[in-house]
A = this chain, B = another copy of it.
Amino acid sequence: MDDVRIETIQDRVGQVVTLRGWLAARRSSGKIHFLQVRDGTGVIQCVMVRSQVSDDEFQAADHCPQESSVEVGGTVRADPRSPIGYEVDVTSFRVVHESEPYPITPKEHGTAFLMEHRHLWIRSRRQHAILRVRASLIKAIRDYFDSHGFLLVDTPILTPAACEGTTTLFELGYFGDRAFLTQSGQLYNEATAAAFGKVYCFGPTFRAEKSKTRRHLTEFWMVEPEMAFCDFEQNMAVAEDFLVSIVARVLDERRRELEVLERDTRPLEAVRKPFPRLHYEEAVRLLHENGSDLQSGDDFGGDDETILTRLFDRPIMVHRFPAAVKAFYMKRDPDDPRYALGVDVLAPEGYGEVIGGGQREDDLETLRAAIRAHGLPEEAFRWYVDLRRYGSFPHSGFGLGVERTLAWICGLPHVRETIPFPRMLEKIWP
């Protein structure tokens, strides 16, 4: 391990360095090999002139297959023709391990083939860019909450009860008992918000949905803030500020990666406050005007979200959905109890929901009635109901799905490329 890495090569101009990495590509013109070496932080062209190295080294480079691991010594030189601005004049070359013929070649491969080779596909330029944007997005999310008075409080993955119905749950045996993989940390967040005021959890969540769409993963990462003494309007303002902040941060840090992805960044630069706010019925009217046959009272489908978001140049907030289509824990609008104080934030360009949230029911008897009305087991929610017995408090929060947000930011047609090892219906390999 050596700390000379391509991403900081600009600090080494004129110096002799050793790079360790993989041979991404090579072309030769008789007396010169042009070696594209990648080390995980970037790709740099290493120029090997026959007269500057031993015959063995020159021969080794000539026969070295794609993706072989190599150690290249040489002098760093600024070069305006280089896409990264620098090249290396090679003085030594060693093959660490000669690769077998690499299955992923510059020719086009089908998605099924690439997904089957996901452990290798992630080495390629586009996947590399996406996963670097992902790391920045996650850091932007954490930094936002850490710097706004939220405490990270992890919620459990193994849970005894379902948060939003049992049909989409993964179930497993737990020492003779049964357990479910979490769909959301929200219920636990409400307990920790009573302890810490403003909290967030951030971890993997699971939905056993039999959906084979471009928006569904069975395993995905979600961040969920929850705020004590926060009402519905304040919660919408936080969600808006948060989304503006993380998009700006990623634009700032990962412009080069977004270029690799050929993402038109203008729609992202337009993500500014205020986001249009639409009451559910207003959104339904707009949908009907634009060709949707959504039944008033129903929840939106993916197609409805696509239609709606194409009408605006920035994210929109649809609020006050019919209580009947929303989860049992949502507080009803005191001005019209047919509606729940829930909000979805829909990303533009057809991407759809990236945030869902709202105010939680804080009255003991109303909540118990809702649990019964939804046919949920009261015993499983006994601890949750306790939060309304001992110092109940108005509180709100939301959840943002990392992969859908990343698909939007990167401009990807499918979420499967937004996570290193995607899990989907019938897809758990590698």
Contacts and interface: CB of A to CB of B under 8 A. Distances in A.
B153 A135 contact: yes
B159 A102 contact: no
A234 interface: yes
A2 B229 contact: yes
A138 interface: yes
A400 to B, nearest CB: 15
Contact of A158 (B1, B146, B428): B428
A96 interface: yes
A163 interface: no
A99 B382 CA distance: 16
Given A2-B229, A40-B195, A419-B154, A390 B135 contact: no
Interface in A120-137: 120, 122-123, 127-128, 131-132, 134-135
A contact residues, range: 35 or more
A241 interface: no
Interface in A130-160: 131-132, 134-135, 138-139, 142, 146, 149, 151-160
A122 B195 contact: yes
Contact of A219 (B157, B228, B428): B157
A314 B264 CA distance: 53
B131 A231 contact: no
Interface stretch (A43-51, A170-178, A288-296, A346-354): A170-178
Given A122-B195, A131-B151, A188-B420, 18 more contacts: A1-B228, A2-B229, A5-B149, A40-B196, A67-B390, A100-B389, A119-B188, A131-B153, A135-B153, A139-B152, A154-B419, A157-B219, A158-B170, A158-B428, A160-B428, A160-B430, A175-B426, A383-B430
